[in-house]
Amino acid sequence: MNYISLDLEWNQAYAQKALAVQKRLECRLRGEVIQIGAVKLDEDLNLIGSYRITVKPKFFKVIQRYVMRLTGIDQTMLDHGTPLPEAIERFHRWCGEDFAFLTWGPDDIPMLEDNLRAHRLDGSWLHRVYDLQLIFNRQTDGSKNQRSLEYAMEHFGIEQNLPAHDALNDAYFTALVAQRLDVAAGIAQYDERRGDNLLTTVIGDADGGEKGFSTPELLLADERVATPTCPLCSAPLTPLDNLLHSKGQRYTRLFSCKEHGKLFLRMHLLRNFNETWRAKYVILPADEAGEKDYRKRLQDSAVATTRRRRPRRKPRQAQEASTQGSDAATPSPQ
């Protein structure tokens, strides 16, 4: 198997225009890819090829000034670029048969998927992706911070001898960082974690043509969330504690299946292009450490809520206007 280190540059439109385009296309499009850069590595991480193509945008045709400053791509280059369907066909052919993508950070592949969807093109071949940023963190200091590519280069003493924010240069630098990591071990760990999940799905994905939920509350009341069944035996699961709400619209709840033991349901709520909500939704076996952490966080959030409630004194008018439900920080138990 080869590795493809991938980097993209994309152009954006001003908010009104972007919204109108997304409504018309009925899918999310936060940016339009204008350059694809990639470096191919063999199994031993030797560099064996490179690829760069400038893409002519179809929806956001005018290059934003800051994108031009950052990437050095100007309007003339864009106008002479290759339309996405053709660029992607060529790029896919260059990738070959058996490969996995390496990216720096989580953003590039979803952006490319959105672009393919906007053009009604198949994106299923993009599924094998490893975020090198995570592997770097795990194999260096275990940090959870998002480190820049420049940070990783400095860490390994890689000289920045080419301009950054050129898709090919960034893909090349990403490849150099990969060569200094144990990529195979990182991938094995990645796959192991992925393999733990008994169920991985998205609900309410308006970007993918489903109906989104107009509020997070409606999503949380959906039967797949409120009364889920075991992915292994389809038996109804019994909740063992409350729904835990963490930062950034993340939710966790511990359940049990008579036959398969304790299971976590974990969700991340996200906005669809049309302002409705979807959730990435995972069910996986609960281990002891995970359960301990979950119970502790539940307790902490209960304490935080009590503390917040006590000293708050609102002006009289405001108090009258908000007699119901303003303090909904913690979801109530069933």
Using CB under 5 A as the criterion, which residues of the chain lie in contact with Zn ion when the complex forms? 230, 232-233, 257, 259-260
Which residue, 62 or 235, has its beta carbon nearer to Zn ion? 235
Which residue, 45 or 263, has its beta carbon nearer to Zn ion? 263
Q: How far is the CB of 225 from Zn ion (least distance, A)?
A: 18
Q: How far is the CB of 255 from Zn ion (least distance, A)?
A: 10
- Following DSSP, what letter does each residue of 41-93 receive, concatenated? E-TT--EEEEEEEEEE-SSS-SPPHHHHHHH---HHHHHTSEEHHHHHHHHHH
Beta strands in the chain (DSSP E): 2-11, 32-41, 47-56, 82-83, 99-103, 129-131, 199-203, 238-239, 244-246, 250-257, 261-271, 277-285
Which residue, 182 or 196, has its beta carbon nearer to Zn ion? 196
235 in Cβ contact with 215 (< 8 Å) = no
SS3 9: strand
Q: How far is the CB of 258 from Zn ion (least distance, A)?
A: 7
- How many angstroms separate the CA atoms of 92 and 127, rounded? 13
Which residue, 36 or 283, has its beta carbon nearer to Zn ion? 283
Which residue, 230 or 267, has its beta carbon nearer to Zn ion? 230
- How many angstroms separate the CA atoms of 26 and 208, rounded? 9
Q: How far is the CB of 234 from Zn ion (least distance, A)?
A: 7
Which residue, 109 or 283, has its beta carbon nearer to Zn ion? 283
Q: How far is the CB of 231 from Zn ion (least distance, A)?
A: 8
Which residue, 72 or 236, has its beta carbon nearer to Zn ion? 236
130 in Cβ contact with 45 (< 8 Å) = no
153 in Cβ contact with 176 (< 8 Å) = yes
Q: Could you give phi then psi for residue 299, rounded to 5 degrees?
A: -60, -45
Q: How far is the CB of 219 from Zn ion (least distance, A)?
A: 24
- How many angstroms separate the CA atoms of 105 and 108, rounded? 8
- Determine the residue with CB nearest Zn ion: 230
Dihedral of the CA atoms 303, 305, 311, 317 (nearest 10)?
A: -170
Closest CA to 3 of 142, 121, 132: 132
Q: How far is the CB of 229 from Zn ion (least distance, A)?
A: 8
